[in-house]
Amino acid sequence: MKILVDRSVLLPALSVVGGVVERRQTSPILGNLLLTAEDGLVRMKGTDLEIEISSAAVAEIEETGAVTLPARKLIDICRSLPEDARIQIKTQNERATLTSGRSRFMLSTLPAADFPAMEVPPAQIALQMEREILHRLLEKTSFAMAQQDVRYYLNGVLLELSAERAVAVATDGHRLAKVVAALDGDGEGLGAEPKQVIVPAKTVLELKRLLGSAQEQVRIELSARTLKVELGKTLVVSKLVEGQYPDYNRVIPADLQQHATIDRDRLKGALQRTAILSNEKYKGVRVTFEVGRLGLQTQNPEKEEAEDEIEIEYEGEPISVGFNVAYVLDVLSAVDVSTVEIRFRNAESSAVWQGLGSEDEVFVIMPMRL
């Protein structure tokens, strides 16, 4: 293989696929990227056996071929070169030589034939979706995903797709985030009965990273075991989490009599101040609802305390509820509007948090004992 390629097109593509490569691998080849040169493109692919990302860059192909190169070293070399650098990559025997100007690097390779490929069954569902919609669904729910929970089906985001709408849900058992978006109904294989899949946490994070800077529409294909997302020249293929996701509608409380509205930024600032002296392990804050006033109180094992209060629209009986301050701050960061609505029943029940008027976004936080 012998190619000439501009750093300005190679590095962005390498950064896209390199994010999936783990620093510690079970097999040496998983630390490499597969590069294939043909048809005026150098195609790149990285995988950890659970998720596979591929992209491409325009290049001058002097000799076609395929090789795997160490991902981190290749990316670091390209980053270190000048922005207008032109790079030659040439392979011979078991070595690859990367040359740019007076800089020369020799890298070890592994056979392209040994690079693992994910099996992708035929798609059962296929649809086009605006990039902003998918990014919003994942961005506003992923913070509530479980992290390495033994209930493996919670370690990801539930995507529920029907002809008319897409729903994303995440929960770790202590909080829940649900976001709904309308679809145009043009998908293949979608009906009135929703199709549920659980997207693994790492795939969710990679998709958020890629969707954040992209402009193209997204094509989504779902099979029984895999998710495929096509975004311009970038293709993401991921295994799905097997298992039955809990009935999230049962977690969202209804008939909540107590109701309060509050300025999001003022609440966020007060929580950040009081959190300074909260218990570092449990991060609890006592929130007291009173007519026209919201009181916040934290304390820690060193007997240190912090108190703050802000104005609030509330007309009910005084109620004190304990919340994890980090959970509340996560919700406030996910809300776009300036006013937050809080609904709850009593000090022992879960509270529903929403941006005022944002009926398609629901956040639930369970209380904690303080």
Of 238, 234, 237, 218, the C-alpha closest to 54 is 234
Provide the greatest CA pair distance for the chain.
79
Q: Structure pTM?
A: 0.93
Fold of the domain built from segment(s) 253-365: DNA Polymerase III; Chain A, domain 2 (3.10.150)
The CATH homologous superfamily to which domain 125-248 belongs is DNA Polymerase III, subunit A, domain 2 (3.10.150.10)
The CATH homologous superfamily to which domain 2-114 belongs is DNA Polymerase III, subunit A, domain 2 (3.10.150.10)
Please report, for residues 8, 224, 311, 349, the alpha-carbon distance to residue 290 in angstroms, rounded to integers and kept in the order given: 58, 51, 10, 17
Q: What is the pLDDT along the chain (370 residues), one digit of tens a residue?
A: 999 999 999 999 999 999 999 888 889 999 999 999 999 999 999 999 999 999 999 999 999 999 999 999 999 999 999 999 999 999 998 999 999 999 999 999 999 999 999 988 999 999 999 999 999 999 999 999 999 999 999 999 999 999 899 999 999 999 999 999 998 877 898 877 899 999 999 999 999 999 987 677 899 999 989 999 999 999 999 999 999 999 999 999 998 999 999 999 999 999 999 999 999 889 999 999 999 999 999 999 999 999 999 999 999 999 999 999 999 999 999 999 999 999 999 999 999 999 999 999 999 999 998 8
- C-alpha 340/C-alpha 261 separation (Å) is 6
Are the C-beta atoms of 81 and 87 separated by less than 8 Å? Answer: yes
Are the C-beta atoms of 259 and 351 separated by less than 8 Å? Answer: no
Q: Which two tokens stand for residue 116?
A: 């693992």
For residue 286, which phi and psi values (nearest 5 degrees)?
Answer: -90, 120
- C-alpha 120/C-alpha 126 separation (Å) is 14
Q: Number of C-alpha atoms within 13 angstroms, CB side, residue 41?
A: 10
- Single-letter residue type at 130: E
Please report, for residues 72, 128, 155, 206, 324, the alpha-carbon distance to residue 53 in angstroms, rounded to integers and kept in the order given: 15, 19, 20, 9, 36
Three-class SS of 159-191: EEECCCEEEEEEECCCEEEEEEEECCCCCECCC
**Span(s) in the chain for CATH 3.10.150.10:** 2-114, 125-248, 253-365
Of 168, 184, 178, 185, the C-alpha closest to 134 is 168
